[in-house]
Amino acid sequence: MPKQTFLNLPSEKRNIIIDAAVNEFVEHGLENASTNRIIEKSKISKGSFYQYFDDKHDLFMHLVSLLESEKKAYFQDEKPPSMQTGLFEYYRWMVKVGMAFNSTHPNMAQAVSRVLLGERLFFSEYFEDVREKTRDFFELMINEARERGEIDPSIDIELAIMIMETWQNTITTYIFDEGMKQKDIMEWVRSAETQERIDKLLYVMEYGLRKTESEFEKNA
């Protein structure tokens, strides 16, 4: 995490360094990121950089922390449905609000997503605590849904948790990659067409691929 010397900098100078790091991680990921390029684009000396951060990994973790703080604040302003209204309704809300948040911080979210999911840093020991909390929350949701008779009681809980976690990451990556091709990602994510696309992706998770009378066919 950043040293106090970085936190003591004026916000404008901190933002220049952050923006340079975001652009570097978007373009090259973490493994191939160049500390020298970040230093050059930030217009600081190498000595100054190491007074601020231990290395590029330390800088990346600071970006994760910044994004997580912003995300928590964003979710607090949203009103979630009651978990009693249904497992998939609540899960759909989580995914859609997450997509909306990413669209407000597209470059930083893309940089973090590329490294955490693309380079699988999220599955390393650095994020074990975060993943454990996520799994615990999914387990709570699934158990409550099973008690309500909402899902098949024979379903393996651990596998269900894995599917929900993986599906959330997959949808996030897909929608985000598509959104970055648009002129205005925020407008695109919030559009009725994209919201329906997210609904259809979640429909596949909820109902699978077996032939049924689709809700989308009913409303056509």
- Shared domain for 47 and 131, answered yes or no, is no
Crossing angle of helices 106-113 and 87-104, in 10° steps, is: 110
Same domain, 132 and 210: yes
The whole-angstrom separation of Cα 192 and Cα 80 is: 20
Mark whether 123 and 173 lie in a shared domain: yes
Within a domain: residue 16?
A: yes
217 has pLDDT over 70: no
Q: Look at residue 55 in the predicted model and tell me its pLDDT.
A: 96
Q: Is residue 118 part of a domain?
A: yes
Nearby residues of 220 by Cβ (< 8 Å), 6 or more positions away: none
Same domain, residue pair 29 and 98? no
* CA distances from residue 205 to 71, 126, 170 in whole angstroms, order as listed: 25, 28, 11
Q: Is residue 70 part of a domain?
A: no
Span 162-169, mean pLDDT? 90
CATH code at position 14: 1.10.357.10
Residue 73 domain-assigned (yes or no): no
- Same structural domain, 48 and 92: no
**Is residue 71 situated within a structural domain?**
no
Q: Are 149 and 178 in a shared domain?
A: yes
**Residues 88 and 170 grouped into a single domain:** yes
In this structure, the answer to whether residues 177 and 134 fall within a common structural domain is: yes
pLDDT of residue 215: 62
Residue 72 lies in a domain: no
Residue 155 resides in a domain:
yes
Same domain, 4 and 93: no
- pLDDT band of residue 3 (cuts 50, 70, 90) is very high
Report residue 133 as tokens. 């909390």
> Is 212 a residue whose pLDDT tops 80?
no
Instruction: Choose one of 39, 65, 91: the last residue of a domain.
Output: 65
Residues 147 and 197 grouped into a single domain: yes
Q: Last residue of some domain: 38, 65, 92?
A: 65
209 and 175, same domain (yes or no): yes
Q: Print the domain residue range for 189.
A: 78-218
Q: What are 127-148's pLDDT values in tens digits?
A: 899 889 999 999 999 999 999 9
Q: Looking at the 3D structure of the chain, how many domains does it have?
A: 2
Confidence class of residue 173 from pLDDT cuts 50, 70 and 90?
A: confident
- Flag whether pLDDT at 211 surpasses 80: no
Residue 83 has pLDDT above 80, yes or no: no
Looking at the structure, tell me whether residues 123 and 91 fall in a common domain: yes
Residue that finishes a domain, picked among 17, 34, 65: 65
